[in-house]
Amino acid sequence: MDPFFIRDTPKSFEEASSALQEAVVDQGFGVLAVHDLGNTLRSKGLPFPEQCRIFEVCNPQQAAAVLSTTMALNMALPCRISVYTEAGQTRLGMIRPEAMLAGLSADPSLREVARAVEASTTAIIKAAAA
């Protein structure tokens, strides 16, 4: 299975960014931070022609469930969903939580949480891209 979940959208970069913020709330998550990687790179004098925003999103109950299995998994939190452009196409994507967490822990309870998080974050991306 592809470790990435990516959806193209006909929306502009700004429209997709706004739609993502709304979809996050609709799924019971919150936006903790937004990193504008494109602007950061350009501000450092690097020629970066694309747009890229990384949204750190979290559902507190699911985060607590992950941390209760192994505190070291804090390094895999929060979930990150990106809105970016590539050759004129706006895309939304993430690394699949289930695949990522399966590589970090064999705890069966974590797999259930990871499945639920992936279902929610996939729904977020699909809604924002529509």
Statement: residue 1 has pLDDT above 80: no
Sign, CA torsion 102/95/30/32 = positive
Any idea of the CA torsion for 97, 103, 105, 111, to the nearest 10 degrees? Answer: 40
How far the first Cα of the chain sits from its last, in Å, is: 23
pLDDT in tens, 49-105: 999 999 999 999 999 999 998 899 999 999 999 999 999 999 999 999 998 988 888
pLDDT at 105: 87
